Structure 1
Amino acid sequence: MSKKEIDEISGVETTGHEWDGIKELNTPMPRWWLWTFYGTIVWAVIYCVLYPAIPLINGATPGILGYSSRGELAKTVAVADEAKAEFVSQIESMDVGAVLENPELTRFAVAGGESAFKVYCSQCHGAGAAGAPGYPNLNDDEWLWGGSIDEIHATIAHGVRYDADEDTRIGEMPAFGEFMERDQIRATANYVASLSGLEHNEAYVEEGKTLFEENCSACHGEDAGGMTDLGAPSLNDAIWLYGGNVEAISAQISKPQHGVMPAWQDRLGDATVKQLAVYVHSLGGGQ
C-alpha cells in the first residue's frame, strides 16, 4: 500500500498527479455543494414522474399529474373569454354607432380592435396604420369611402373590389390610355399636380384643366375634392396613394392601379369587425 503524500505548504493530501513540478491537491467538494447537486438529481427524477418530460417518438411521457401547458393556456383563454363575453354580446346586439355612445364599451372595443388590427390589418396598413404605397393611411382625414363609423364598418365588413362579397365597395377608374393621347394625359397630369402645389409644367395646365373637366370631374368633383360614394380620391391635397409627381399621376391616368381589400365580416364575425371599426375610427381621422 502506497504512502499518502501530503503537500508541505497546504498540508493537504495530493492526488499523485504532477505536471511540470506542480502537484494536484486532493481537495474535496464542499458538503453544501454536494448535497445541492444530489438534491437537483432527486428533483429531476420527481419532475420526470409528475410532469411531461422524456421525449418519445410521437410525444413525451405525460406525467402522473396530467399537466399540459396547452391545457393551461386553454383554461386561461376560457377565463378571459368568459370575462369579456358580456361586452362582446352587447356589441353584437347594437349598431356600431351606438358603441361609441357607451364609454365603457368604446374602451373595450378600441382595445379589442387594436389587437385584431395588428393580426389582420397591419400587414398592409402598417403597425401604426400609417399605410404604404397603394395602402391608405388610416390616421388622416382623407377617406376614399367615407370616414364615419358606419362607413368604416361597411368597408371593413365587405371589403373593396372583393368579388366574393356581393356588398363589396366597387369603384374603378377607366384606363384613359386607351382613348386619350399621350400629350393629353401629360397635360391632365400636370393640371392635377398643380392643384396640390406639386412640381409641374405650367404650359400644360390650361389644356389639362379642360381635359379634367371633360373626363375626370364626374368622379373626382369639379374642385377635384373627390367623392366618397364612388371611392374617388381627392386630388387637391398632399395625399397620394400611388405617388405624388407628374410621372406617377400620368401612369395612374393611363393605366390605373386598383387595390383589393378582403371582406372581413364572414372571417372575423360581427363583434370583431365592429371593434375594428371603432379602433380605426379612434385613430384620429374618423369623421
Structure 2
Amino acid sequence: MADNNPFPGENNTGHIWDENLRELKNPPPRWWMIGLWASILWVAGYTILYPSWPVGQEPTQGILGWSQIKEYQSGLEKVAAKRAEFEDQIKGMTVNEIIADPGLTQYTLASAKVLFGDNCSACHGSGGQGNPGYPVLADDDWLYGGTTGKIAETIKGGRQGAMTAHQSILEPDELDTLANWVVQMSETLGKGGSEEGWALFRTKGCTACHGQAANGILAEMPNGDVVTVGAANLTDGIWRFEPGGFESAKHTIMYGVNQPGVAETRNAVMPAFGSTDTGKLSEEDIKKLVVYVHELGGGK
C-alpha cells in the first residue's frame, strides 16, 4: 500500500482507505502535550501528598496525613465548640427555665428538630401534624395533659391507653345511641348530646375514664397537671382515630383500644424513649424534645 501512495511527500503512514482517507504522522499540538505532562505531574504530586493507592486494606497515607474522616471530625469539633455554650447552660436548667429564655428556646428548637425527625416524625409527621392513627402534636388537644411535666412523662415512659370492648356489654340499639351521642358531642363541642346518650354514658361506666364532663379529665392539680388515663376528650371536634363520625365512634366503642384477643381493636401504643432497657434517648435529648413538643402545640 505504501508503494502506491497517491500522496507522495506527505507525512503519512501509507495507510489509505477509500482513495483519500489516510493516517498522518503529525505530532500533537504543543498545548495538548503541555496539558498531558502537567496532568501527569499533578497526579504524581497528588499521590505523594494525599491518600491514593490501595495497599492491602488501606491506601497510601500521603505526607500531609489528610483524610476525610479527620476533616469530618474536625468539623464536628468546631460545631461542638459553638454549641458548648448553650449545651452547658441547658444541662443545669429545667425545661420551664429553658422556655423562659427566648435565646435558649430558639437554640433548643433548632437542636431538637433533628431529634424529632429521627425519633418522632414517622408517627407524628415532620411538623407534628400527625399521621393516620397517630395523635396530632401541633394542636392544644392533649390526651395525657400538655404541661412540660406530662410531656416528659410521656416521652420517657411511653403510653399505652386502653378502652374496654363493649360489643358484648351493650345492646345493638345502645351501641347506636352511644355512637350518635359521641358525634353530637363532637359537633356541639360538648353542649349537646341526647339525654339517652348521657344516661348510657353515666350508667355504663364511661365516666371512669372519660370523666364526669366527658372531657377526658378525671381531676385537675394545682400545678396545672391533670389526672387522666388517656381517654379521649369527647367535648371537642378532634377525633383520635380518623376519619371520625358515627361508624368510627361505633367501631371504637365495640372493639375498644389495645384489647388483647379482640382482632378489630384500635391499636394505640407509644414506645418509651427514656427506658433503661432501650436507652434510646439521653436525659438531655428528652429535655430538648419536651421543649420542642411543648412549643409545637402551645402546651399548657
Output the TM-score relative to the length of structure 2.
Answer: 0.78
Shift, 1:80, TM fit? 1.7
Counterpart residue number, 2:253: 253
Counterpart CA distance in 1 for 2:156 and 2:53 is: 48
Instruction: Please state if 1:37 is matched with 2:50.
Output: no
Counterpart residue number, 1:269: 282
Q: 1:190 aligns with which of 156, 168, 180?
A: 180
Shift, 1:20, TM fit? 3.2
Counterpart CA distance in 1 for 2:27 and 2:173 is: 94
Q: 1:30 to 1:223 in 2, by over 3 A?
A: farther
Counterpart residue number, 1:232: 231
Letter paired with 1:253: I
Letter paired with 2:211: G
User: Superposition RMSD on alpha carbons, in Å?
Assistant: 2.9
Contact 1:112 1:276 in 2 (8 A): no
Shift, 1:159, TM fit? 2.0
Report the number of matched residues: 270
Counterpart residue number, 2:21: 23
Counterpart CA distance in 2 for 1:121 and 1:216 is: 31
Shift, 1:98, TM fit? 0.6
Show CA shifts across 1:156-178 (max 9, x none). 232213xxxxxxxxx42222234
Letter paired with 2:94: D
Shift, 1:21, TM fit? 4.1
Counterpart residue number, 1:148: 147
Counterpart CA distance in 2 for 1:12 and 1:252 is: 95
Q: 1:103 to 1:186 in 2, by over 3 A?
A: same
Letter paired with 1:187: T
Letter paired with 2:202: E
Instruction: Please state if 1:242 is matched with 2:236.
Output: no
Shift, 1:73, TM fit? 1.2
Shift, 1:226, TM fit? 2.2
Pairwise mapping of residues 1-287 of structure 1 onto structure 2 (< 5 A)? 13-24=11-22, 26=24, 28-161=27-160, 171-197=161-187, 206-214=195-203, 215-227=205-217, 229-230=227-228, 231-243=230-242, 244-255=244-255, 256=257, 257-265=266-274, 266-287=279-300
Report the identity percentage: 39
Counterpart CA distance in 1 for 2:207 and 2:284 is: 38
Show CA shifts across 1:59-98 (max 9, x none). 4333333322112212221222232223222212121101
Contact 1:6 1:12 in 2 (8 A): no
Q: 1:39 to 1:219 in 2, by over 3 A?
A: same
Secondary structure of 2:45 counterpart: helix
Q: 1:25 to 1:232 in 2, by over 3 A?
A: same
Secondary structure of 2:269 counterpart: coil
Counterpart CA distance in 2 for 1:160 and 1:79 is: 38
Counterpart CA distance in 1 for 2:247 and 2:194 is: 15
Counterpart CA distance in 1 for 2:94 and 2:152 is: 10
Q: Which moved more, 1:243-252 or 1:132-141?
A: 243-252
What are the ranges of 5 or more consecutive residues in structure 2 without an aligned counterpart? 218-225, 258-265
Show CA shifts across 1:24-60 (max 9, x none). 4635433223222322222223222332223455343
Shift, 1:6, TM fit? 9.6
Output the TM-score relative to the length of structure 1.
Answer: 0.81
Counterpart CA distance in 2 for 1:12 and 1:125 is: 79
Secondary structure of 1:131 counterpart: coil
Counterpart CA distance in 2 for 1:113 and 1:84 is: 13
Q: 1:222 to 1:79 in 2, by over 3 A?
A: same
Q: 1:83 to 1:20 in 2, by over 3 A?
A: same
Secondary structure of 2:36 counterpart: helix
Secondary structure of 1:196 counterpart: helix
Contact 1:92 1:270 in 2 (8 A): no
Shift, 1:241, TM fit? 2.3
What are the ranges of 5 or more consecutive residues in structure 1 without an aligned counterpart? 162-170, 199-203
Contact 2:210 2:233 in 1 (8 A): yes
Contact 1:144 1:232 in 2 (8 A): yes
Letter paired with 1:134: G
